[in-house]
Structure 1
């Protein structure tokens, strides 16, 4: 009977707590023996635990007032995971005053740990809650000094509050901890990861490069704490700007003090470069056995530079190389340098940054890894990125081909003939790894071209028919259009003719795609160019057909009144505007690529005219002639 009664009480209390019915909670607590210290969940959480977790600060203060001074020691109750009521304040920023009252009544709560070895301060760092962290940290430093601080800064698995602040992505808190507790910057967790290595595994949020968004960012004060009057969008932007600013400060601070960058793997490779298939080679079975054993062995973390390259964190790469340029020669446990890793993980920004650095390209371009893979071999490999944009397989293959060519341009000529441990040159490895993708890309392009052709033929049919059923009809005597002299009629004729012409052009391009040979090199330029031209012509055809429809509507229905004409213009051209916006959004990457190529070509032309050849004295042939060695005839 007692169990049944407890079940009813727990059910009522839990329901009232979830519904935030403070009066009902206080009423029930006043009627039961344990009051607010009554355990209400199967995990032994008290009423105060749940109210604190629910961020109900006023309710928590009222519940604490219900506890007699003589029972203050009972406030140290721990639930099944070992968390106290003070631990629960670390999950939010709204119970700071409640935490202050808890410590006034039971100061021992500050140093109590849960079953993971976490104090309330550590708990706040794990949840990334700034205000409660500030309060608890001030309480800890006020009452504890020297060796006693270790309990508050580190838990049982060697993770520190700095590790957890980084994992919670609260970069201000992490910077504050690193500044006040400098020794934590080189502490390693149970996986031998330093805070900088842990930060290097995260893809940091960066502020938008859009000009208009940047203007808004510049107007926002990221350090303002009261955001109650801000619009939701501005709040989100302020939060992002705040995170970006403190992430940069944290990176600079950790790179200056972290020493994990100094340790790298030995450069000595297990394989020498080979240029033919003869001689001593390990069998495939031996290679697979070695690879399997290597995979099962525990791996030590890579240096921050390699980790940042793998995870596309360019900011950390730049900061490390700016402060320690010699770190460019780091290699991972597979013997791969930063360029190997950047190519394999398709981090083009890091690759371009390293290649453009002074001396870096010359030092790294001819190196091989433990499996004798050159940089070009890495272009044939690829690590799947779940966050990458989903593109057509033909476009992915095109990007891989461009990358291979880009990497080849920086590699020594000998790398074309070097074989890896599987007796494959870079080109053979690339073709083998992309063979299936080529088949998928071929089927995708043929199917897409067929579908586009059907649409293009339908549009051409409509445009052709419209030419002979002109708006307003024909003069029965002369056969000429009745509205021939109107300006809008000329717009109709031009747009309809353009629609028909563009549709037929797109049909030709799509048929050309269908009948192509589909060699690897065709995917780099010709096939994709044909498909893009066909799609562009098809889109142009649709746009012109929309214009023709709009003009027809205005010519035949216009009532002569200004407001009706305006309404007709808006209604008629609305599909055209929507189409243009959607098309530009979908094709923005292609448009940006064309813009970049045009910009680089223009810069090259300007540089040719700007860097004029120096004028030489009469008789100068442009070649140095040594008195002892006359020039060779070439």
Structure 2
């Protein structure tokens, strides 16, 4: 027995499946033998390592044939569970092989409803891993057996619809909604935390266009890509026919997607299909419906579920938090009463939440709502109004915001933006702690303001020193004329192009450097209060950086023009001018400073603060 066990382990390690089949045939007792630390049998390992389907089917055949007179022994072998209580059928479903699943179930049909330690059946794992063909086959088996709800739900309450949406298998999710629409109401089922499939969809920002960052080029490509809507493969009362042959077509790897079609196409497919799933879920959800026919026990369960739902927030508030404007608008269209949803335990409505999470586009959309005047006047359990929420410091910045100065600018801009949309009395309204919005803003941003001021002082001071150095150099250079002067004091090289370029570039360098020096001194000596970060300080800093860059460029040009007269003309005949070396320090400076300059200028000139994209943030 021990020798056969070693031979079995050796054959499995070498993935010699014909030898494993021979050992199965010669010694049936080793068929259910555990050979790994996770208590897998050889059949478990063969399926998990991706052995050819015909080889695995052959192993199942050997188990059946060697126990032809003892069916229970064959069922025991095929139903062997590992440490996680997974059977070979669980592994076959995860792998996406309807052929292996069908062959196992021909011997032991009851395995279709056997759960593992997490309460997951083979059908559940097929859905969890996006194995559409395998799922449809296993569903047809479970439907014929007349099994009840446990086969599509695991211990934590998650259903197959929760999992397929969370992993973005939208095509399979649509099939599940169709198959379970009438008798199971799977779209409204909550897990143990009170989360519905719609909640799950609302927590995936990348599934919607409004919060997916794209470059201008990507947006152009995106607009010209055509994506077809998902279709249902199953008919009204039966699943697609999987055939009578044992060897069925295996599932493709769902993680591969449409690799040849490009990332932009995959992105648009995700956006279109998620919108399609959202529509189906909204048609079937019963979150805002009231039933007079439910029993007292049902009401008690509903009350408990509602408690968990509040802690997790409603789908509308989840979408608001993540900035999914498409979901927010559609929920409010289908269920207008959802506008009264509030978080627990703070009791913040949709306006308070959108301001707290810095979702500009959601906030703008709510300003057009008929109940806007009522919504904006709400306060939470702590007495905080909308301006109070805008005054709290945000720990996660939008992706365009980098550094303490830009964060301070963004915070001041957001507070000012919200303040302009609110009545004046809110600025003086106190919360339960007796603090006004301005007082909270000052407390919350005290450290950030200090850090920003230090950066402004250090940066402007450093640039001012370099600008002063350029001023002194260009001033001295202006009296050092290349080629000297004649008796009348006029330059000997006057009239030559290189000399004219030298004179003009020296003038530009001197004027721009002294302007840059004045700008940086103005920044250094400013008050540096939060209101100054709205426009004044950033614009002065951008102006100073612009003139400083111009002074550096013109200084390099003046040097090249002056040096031209001293360089051997034979060297200038080469295709590559030696003056190209002067571009190296300029390119290095440009590469390091342009991103900061552009982001600072863009956030200064925009009329509205950028929304916060969840999942694409910079933690400060």
* TM-score between both structures, scaled by the size of structure 1: 0.74
CA distance in 1, matches of 2:393, 2:324: 18
Q: In the alignment, which of 409, 412, 417 is matched to residue 423 of structure 2? A: 412
**Residue 352 in structure 1 maps to residue 379 in structure 2:** no
Partner of 1:194: 196
Question: Where do 5+ consecutive residues of structure 2 fail to align?
Answer: 68-73, 231-251, 291-306, 609-620
- Given candidates 483, 489, 498, the residue that maps to 1:474 is 483
1:171 correspondence with 2:170: yes
Residue 90 of structure 2 corresponds to: 87
Aligned to 2:150: 151
Show CA shifts across 1:87-123 (max 9, x none). Answer: 2234445x45444444445443332211111111211
Name the counterpart of 2:449.
438
Supply the distance in 2 between the matched residues of 1:341 and 1:400 (Cα, whole angstroms).
16
Q: What SS does the aligned partner of 1:332 have?
A: coil
Report SS of the residue matched to 1:118: coil
Structure 1 residue 516 and structure 2 residue 563: aligned? no
Count how many residue pairs are aligned between Structure 1 and Structure 2: 550
**1:108 aligned partner:** 110
- The answer to whether 1:370 aligns with 2:381 is yes
Decide whether aligned partners of structure 1 residues 362 and 65 sit closer, same or farther in structure 2, where only a CA change above 3 A counts. same
Deviation at 1:336, TM superposition (A): 1.6
1:47 matched to which residue of 2? 42
Pairwise mapping of residues 14-93 of structure 1 onto structure 2 (< 5 A)?
Answer: 16=13, 22-23=15-16, 26-27=18-19, 30=22, 33=27, 38-58=33-53, 60-61=56-57, 63-64=59-60, 67-71=63-67, 72-73=74-75, 74-93=77-96
Structure 2 counterpart of 1:631: none
Distance apart, 1:318 and its partner CA: 1.9
Return the alpha-carbon distance in structure 1 between the equivalents of residues 30 and 226 of structure 2. 46
User: Which among 328, 331, 341 is matched to residue 339 of structure 2?
Assistant: 328
Q: Per-residue CA shift, 1:457-496, capped at 9, x if unaligned?
A: 45556656765678xx525757877765454554455445
Q: Once the 2 structures are TM-superposed, how far is the Cα of residue 378 of structure 1 from its aligned partner?
A: 0.8
Cα 1:314–1:499 change in 2 (3 A) is farther
1:216 aligns with 2:221: yes
Q: Deviations over 1:315-357 (max 9, x none)?
A: 21121123334433332232321111111111222112212x1
Note the C-alpha offset of 1:359: 2.2
SS of residue in 1 equivalent to 2:156 = coil
Which residue of 363, 388, 408 maps to 1:397? 408
- Residue by residue over 1:591-626, the C-alpha shift from the partner in whole angstroms, topping out at 9 and shown as x without a partner, is 54566559xxxxxxxxxxxxxxxxxxxxxxxxxxxx
Instruction: Say if 1:228 and 1:79 are closer, same or farther in 2 by CA, change over 3 A.
Output: closer
**Structure 1: 5+ residue runs without aligned partners?**
264-295, 599-634
Does residue 264 of structure 2 align to residue 253 of structure 1? no
Residues 554 and 569, structure 1, Cα contact 8 Å, conserved in 2: no
Find the aligned partners of 2:369 and 2:122 in 1 and give their Cα distance.
49
Q: CA deviation at 1:80?
A: 1.0
C-alpha distance 348-258 of structure 1, shift in aligned 2 (>3 A): same
Q: Distance in 1 between matches of 2:590 and 2:601?
A: 13
Cα 1:441–1:580 change in 2 (3 A) is closer
For 1:496 and 1:50, locate their aligned partners in 2 and report how far apart those are by CA, in whole Å: 77
Residue 237 in structure 1 maps to residue 236 in structure 2: no
- Conservation of the 8 A alpha-carbon contact between 2:539 and 2:604: no
**Are 2:329 and 1:318 equivalent residues in the alignment?**
yes
* 1:35-79 deviations in Å (ceiling 9; x for gaps): 776533211123333343344445645655654534552222211
Q: Flag the 1:354–1:230 CA change in 2: closer, same or farther, 3 A.
A: closer
Mapped to 2, the partners of 1:261 and 1:557 lie a distance apart of: 85
Q: TM-score, normalised by structure 2?
A: 0.75
**1:233-312 correspondence to structure 2 within 5 Å:** 234-261=261-288, 300-312=311-323
Larger relative contact order (Cα-Cα within 8 Å, sequence gap ≥ 6): 2
Contact 2:105 2:112 in 1 (8 A): yes
Contact 2:397/2:407, CA 8 A, preserved across alignment: no
Instruction: State the distance in 1 between where 2:11 and 2:214 align.
Output: 51
Deviation at 1:190, TM superposition (A): 0.8
Aligned position for 2:233: none
CA contact (8 A) 2:484 2:492 kept: yes
Distance, in Å, in 2 between the alignment partners of 1:481 and 1:359 is 76
In 2, distance between residues paired with 1:251 and 1:422?
41
CA contact (8 A) 1:48 1:85 kept: yes
